[in-house]
Amino acid sequence: MKSGFVSIVGRPNVGKSTLMNTLIGQKVAIVSEKPQTTRTRIQGIYTSDAGQIIFIDTPGIHKPKHLLGEYMVKVSTRSLEEVDIIYYMTDVTRPFGGGEQFILNQLKDATVPVIMLVNKIDLATKDQVEDFIEPFLSYMNFSEVISISATQGLNLDLLLETTLGYLPEGPLYYPEGDLTDQPASFIAAELIREKALILTRDEVPHSLAVEVEEFKQNDKKVYLRAVIYTERDSQKGIIIGKNGQMLKNIGEQSRKDIEYMLDAPVYLDLWVKVKKNWRDSENNLNQLGYRL
């Protein structure tokens, strides 16, 4: 059978996490409209009779403004090492520019196949897609160019078939049925952060972090205590909301997703604390799991 590792790279918000979730059939990477939602390396595992593909979802490559941003870019660039294929993912609604050139310069010396994915083709005509691709082809030679829609599932069967064709013969790296290498507590923390980002919209920037302090599971239910960290008292107030309503909404929505993931009832004990300037503190980053 075929097996191997595929790194998914590209600018923020081109659909990398959505693609991986769709391909493996379950949400293991959180999604929001805000850029740089993905902060660390997350593996999603696709297994079929033909083989096993381990997808590596990475943070969007961008110009960092703090230590957390530097960590995220390092995670993305390191993911290009020791993989069998690289997906370079683009968004047909965002034309070729300096950000794309920066990423392509890092891919030019790749020793493995680089497949360009043109996402969100459901939002463009065929001619618009062809015009979009042209400047990329003049900048770099790709092993394949595949137009897809991660949300609509367009051409994803073709993508899987093409990917398996490039992968070497190998073993099952993970047991059949595994969908990610991340523990349930990590995904639970990410689901809480996702709901906080979505519900607060533009009121709270990417200064949120979530830490699961306790995770107990028995045959009947799961007890999960988690802390949402912000950088300022004003952000803490927004997360809690008037009479605690925002925190209640975040808890209710994230609990539903966690229960779906674990297939068990969950008691979610959610707290909010201030950790000033944690994104620029190496100790705080390490505590919250952002370490290379």
Mean pLDDT (the chain) is 89
What DSSP string describes 214-246? EEEE-SS-EEEEEEEEESSHHHHHHHH-GGGHH
pLDDT of residue 210: 93
Work out the pLDDT band at 61, boundaries 50, 70, 90: low
Is the pLDDT reported for residue 189 higher than 60?
yes
Which range, 90-94, 180-184, 276-280, has the best average confidence (pLDDT)?
Answer: 90-94
Q: Which of 31-35, 178-182, 216-220, 248-252 has the lowest mean pLDDT?
A: 31-35
Inform me whether the pLDDT recorded for 47 exceeds 70: yes
CA distances from 207 to 164, 273, 279, 280 (A): 39, 12, 7, 11
Give the least confident one: 37-41, 214-218, 278-282, 286-290.
Answer: 37-41
Q: Report all structural domains of the chain as residue ranges with CATH numbers, in order of start.
A: 2-166 (3.40.50.300), 184-287 (3.30.300.20)
pLDDT tens, 13-26? 899 989 999 999 98
Yes or no: say if 59 and 76 are a contact pair by the CB < 8 Å rule: yes
In this predicted structure, the answer to whether residue 58 has a pLDDT above a threshold of 80 is no
| pLDDT above 80: residue 214 | yes
Beta partners for 47? Answer: 52
Whether the per-residue pLDDT at 37 is higher than 70: the answer is no
The pLDDT of residue 221 is above 60: yes
Q: Is the pLDDT of residue 288 over 60?
A: yes
110-156 pLDDT tens trace: 899 999 999 999 999 999 999 999 999 999 999 999 999 999 999 99
Closest CA to 58 of 33, 88, 34, 84: 88
34 pLDDT more than 90: no
Indicate if the pLDDT at residue 35 is higher than 70.
no
pLDDT digits (tens, 9 = 90+) for 239-282: 999 999 999 999 999 999 999 999 999 999 999 999 998 888 88
**Rounded distance, CA 117 to CA 256, Å?**
32
Mean pLDDT of the region 41-47: 89
